[in-house]
Chains A and B, each alone.
Chain A
Amino acid sequence: MEGMAGQKSSLAWAVNIAAFLLVLIWTIPTLGLFVSSFRDRDQIASSGWWQSFSGSEQTGFVRSGTADDQVQQDGLYVIEGSALEGAQTLRAWGTGARAPAQYQPGDTADLGDGVSLTVAEDGSYRMTSPQPFEMSRGERIFTTTVSPASFTTENYNRVLTAGGLGRAFMNTMTVTIPATVIPILIAAFAAYALAWMQFPGRALLTAAVVGLLVVPLQVALIPLLRLHNDLGIGKGYLGIWLAHTGFGLPLAVYLLRNYMVGLPREIIESARVDGATEFQIFRRIILPLSFPALASFAIFQFLWVWNDLLVATVFLGNTREQLVMTGLLRELMGSRGGEWEILATSAFISIAVPLLVFFAMQKYLVRGLLAGSVKGG
């Protein structure tokens, strides 16, 4: 569209800026979590994450040296020292609690009786007096300092080693992988039958699959829980694998059928003429050709199962050993709402895997979405 008739460069600018703003708004929330996961608890509690790049401002006071520290120089009594520690820089200073930021670095304050105090930018101060100092407690120097931006990976160390999350990560993996692989197999065969075999009731079954796509899974919770209890499956991995397989099947069959219907008829017909059995056709021709659709569904199902909270809560149970990552996050939000550094870090770890899958396989995800939505219903 670039440079098409009727396009003006000012419009192009407006489009660029508008798009940039939109992308910014959509990215900032996740960015905030990401940045926060690298800050320690005090930093999170004392300033917003967006201020973490500019360093944080602190106020406080130190005491100068006492009469014992004075030295005589050029007829003046002098006390010297440093008001800062570490890598801080001085922004302002003062001598009273009422005006703790009265002076700029380098300014000289008159403390009366000829006593004057200078604090330089690096924090070194110099107090001079024509008479000897006699005080036994040092003069208070109020400072406003800026610590440089600092980030830490300590949160990750803590979260990853301190039980909880590592266990939940394994649980999530254990739930997700079989719950992704098994429905694909079952659905692929069914989709092939719906797409390329002749039998009475085919149209009806296809319509039924489309209808089942939208059934709210809440409807299934109570009956299935009881069914699993009656069958002796109870709460556990087997139950959740079966449940996710059942809930994922409509989409799987629908996506794969739509894709397989579009495969060239000649290939399948000529294979049939050559005497290949349906099973051979499926395995040698259909399955390899359908790879993009299989990948699409695999990503959908993976993201869905990984991110699911409801099915896991109901079918797996809520004890510490059984929690998946979404469940753990929920518990952290409830019980430790104040520990933002733990929450932010755990949340980021839990969304890191889906994000990785998302960015690596985006092409297939988009293709699957388009196949599912634009073609059918």
Chain B
Amino acid sequence: MELLWLAVSTIAIGVFGCVAWFWGSNWLLDRIYPPRGANAGQNIRRANQIRPWLFLGPALIFLTMYLVYPVLDSFWRSLFNSNGTRFVGTDNYTWLMRDAKFRESMLNNMLWLLVVPALATLFGLLAAQLTDRIRWGNIGKSLIFMPMAISFVGAGVIWKFIYEYRASGETQIGLLNWIVTQFGGEPQIWLTLPGWNNFFLMIVLVWIQTGFAMVILSAALRGIPEETIEAAILDGASPLQVFFKIKVPQIMGTIAVVWTTITIVVLKVFDIVFVMTNGQWGTQVLANLMYDWMFRGTPDYGRGSAIAIVLMILVTPIMVWNIWNARKEVR
């Protein structure tokens, strides 16, 4: 109960503090440069130069302190030894290149990067196209979209239940093994199958992300000018041709956006691996490897930071591409 009070009072203090800052600083500004009297014109001009920074101030402080500074600090720290006392140059990075676990993580991340955005976009496109054409489409959309609201950990529990294994001959309580045994197959411990277990983890993320892809692609599909489709149909195009040759090329830009957004999610994937296999049996990924180095046993901040910087480098191309697109739009 006292927790609730703490939360409520924090909100009150936080909200009051923010309002006080914005209102107070503006009031002060208008006092110092009153927009009337002899120097009204000059005062207004001065005030208008300062005011944007009052509005932006708190956000800039937060962004700098919680995102910009950490990136720089991580880079700096990655050049030091485990507890940050000795400068070691690029030793952490050369060590990473030789480390088997790191190479496994890189390889797995690449695999995730190839599979998850592709499958999620594909299923999303399929779901968008199908649900747009049926009467109960909105309900269907809601249900496919629903996993978006479920935490990665919750999804981990849900799917662990599906992958659950019981020895051959016992009643299978995991859906997947039950289906396999119904068709006469041997039950498998899916999460420890070398190589394949990665795919069983990926399926979880695909399941979550497909709804996102569907929502955005569905909007894009509906935005396609009706005339282009009608013209194609009049020319005798089959539904499949209409879809692949008329519709898909017109929403290529949106597909790219969806693809890159999911790519970012994939690069940062942590929770699913963390709770389902914890990187065992050859399923390690970068984010979880970094967590291992940072918080398990004796922390090695140098190596942990080096892995974080590798992650940062991997997202940089997408960052540049996004900025490029955004600037085009601003102009």
Chain A residues in the interface with B (C-beta under 8 A): 1-2, 4-7, 11-12, 15-16, 18-20, 22-23, 26-30, 32-33, 36, 44-50, 170-171, 173-174, 177-178, 181-182, 185-187, 189-190, 192-194, 197-199, 202-203, 205-224, 227, 237-238, 241-243, 245-247, 249-250, 253, 277-279, 282, 303, 306-310, 313-314, 326, 329-330, 333, 340, 343-344, 347, 350-351, 354-355, 357-359, 362, 365-366, 369-370, 373-377
Give 20 CB contacts A-B under 8 Å: A5-B234, A7-B239, A26-B146, A26-B207, A27-B143, A48-B178, A174-B7, A192-B55, A206-B330, A215-B71, A217-B268, A220-B74, A222-B73, A237-B10, A278-B26, A307-B149, A308-B151, A310-B270, A354-B150, A377-B257
In the bound complex, what is the Cα–Cα distance between A329 and B127 (angstroms)? 31
Can you list, as one digit per residue, whether each of B152-193 has a CB less than 8 Å from chain A (1) or not (0)?
Answer: 111011111110000000011111001000000000000000
With a cutoff of 8 Å between Cβ atoms, the chain A residues found around residue B71 in the complex are 215, 219-220
Bound-complex Cα distance A181 to B173 (A): 43
For the complex formed, measure the closest distance between the CB of B56 and the CB atoms of chain A, giving whole angstroms. Answer: 5
- Assess whether B23 is interfacial by the CB under 8 Å rule: yes
Chain A residues positioned under 8 Å from B252 (CB to CB): none
Task: Give the residue of A203, A214, A310 whose beta carbon is less than 8 angstroms from that of B330.
Answer: A203
B48: chain A residues at CB < 8 Å are 197-198
Tell me the complex Cα distance, A18–B315, Å.
36
User: What are the 4 closest A-B residue pairs judged by CB atoms, nearest first?
Assistant: A246-B66, A307-B151, A190-B59, A377-B322
Q: When the two chains form their complex, are residues A219 and B215 in contact, meaning their CB atoms are under 8 A apart?
A: no
Known: A221-B294, A344-B157. A178 touches B10 (CB 8 A): yes
B155 to chain A, nearest CB (A): 8
- Chain B residues contacting A340 (CB-CB under 8 Å) are 161, 173
Known: A203-B327, A250-B63. A47 touches B267 (CB 8 A): no
Chain A residues with CB below 8 A from B321, complex form? 377
CA distance A243 to B66 in the complex (A): 7
Which residue from B130, B220, B319 sits with its C-beta under 8 Å from A19? B130
Query: In the complex, which residues of chain B have a beta carbon less than 8 angstroms from the beta carbon of A28?
Result: 175
Whether B279 is near chain A, meaning CB under 8 Å from some CB there, is no
Q: Which residues of B contact A7 (CB under 8 A)?
A: 239
Closest to A185 in B: B18
8 new A-B contacts at CB < 8 Å, known A46-B171, A216-B315, A249-B63: A2-B133, A6-B239, A29-B158, A30-B158, A181-B14, A214-B264, A303-B148, A333-B275
Given A23-B143, A177-B7, A246-B63, A220 contacting B70 (CB threshold 8 A): yes
Given contacts A48-B172, A187-B59, A189-B56, contact A222 B323 (CB under 8 A): no
Chain A residues contacting B51 (CB-CB under 8 Å) are 193, 197, 278
On whether the beta carbons of B147 and A222 are closer than 8 Å, the reply is: no
Whether B326 and A206, one on each chain, are in contact in the complex, defined by CB atoms closer than 8 angstroms, is yes
Residues of chain A within 8 A (CB-CB) of B63 are 208-209, 212, 246, 249-250
Q: Are B58 and A22 in contact (CB under 8 A)?
A: no
> A174-B4, A344-B157 given as contacts; is B162 within 8 A of A32 (CB)?
yes
B22 at the interface (CB under 8 A from A): yes
Chain A residues closer than 8 Å to B220, beta-carbon distance: 374
Stretch from B89-97, B98-106, B194-202, B306-314 that touches the partner: B306-314
